[in-house]
Structure 1
Amino acid sequence: MIRSILRLSEERIADLGCPKLLTNDRKTHEDVCDILVPFEKATHAVQGDQGVTASFVIPCIGGTKLQLAEMTQKYNCRFVLALQTSFTKRMALYENKEVFLLATALDPRFKLKWCQGSELEKLTIDLVHKAERVAAVKEPFIEET
């Protein structure tokens, strides 16, 4: 919605009877749009209805965190810092959910590239254990010929 307002010419804004956007206001609105782009992209990635999206949750969180860190340097304002703090706090719940970790690890587009150190080791062990349990369940059903 903010973008649609910014796209309007000053004449069109005047025709609509809206107050004129001052240069500083326009710049502030443009900055807000730039700051919110990572959230828009992440939302579209995880809300798709044409395919599996659970595997996008972890990469989207990681990517958004990186972009927010870069924006903290670029904009150096409390708004970005507040977004960064709130995002990290709220996404911690999803970052630790096994379903999203496994979905991302098993997705051939991501595999375990996003994971490092002890997290990589733990996830690898978990995957091996799960595969062993699946194999143990399947074995009684395999008929010998």
Structure 2
Amino acid sequence: MNKPSILFICTHNSARSQIAEGYINNRYGDRYTAYSAGTEVTHIHPLAIEVMNERGIDISGQRSKALSEFIDSDIDIVVTVCDGAKAVCPVFPGVKHTIHKEFMDPSAATGSDEEKREIFRRVRDEIIQWIDMNVQPGGTLAV
């Protein structure tokens, strides 16, 4: 049986969706295949890479991807992680579940480097907690 696929979508595909993709593939890769995309293609934020490394997860090999890369893909679950992505998210044929869960954009953080790093850590932990609370053994995410 094929593992269900999850596509995490945010505006820039630089932090929130990248964190979720990396965490699912690392922690639940035996049950799911995760991807991420953005309504705009940018780059993975260096602090996203740094705070995931603190958890022993290397996302430095991931890349920012456009939604268009996934339109004709067999995606089972779409998760929008910001209101901006939800507003413009296209319909993906064959998707079994669409979920919206808003997370603060850590890339918009201001302050010192350490203050920004703390915000990235907080958002990372919120995403991880939400995933851990909602992953179901049968290949779905509870909402």
TM-score by length of 2: 0.26
Please state which structure has a larger fraction of its residues in helix.
1
Find the structure with the greater CA-based Rg.
Answer: 1
Q: Which has the higher contact order (CA 8 A, sep 6+)?
A: 2
TM-score by length of 1: 0.26
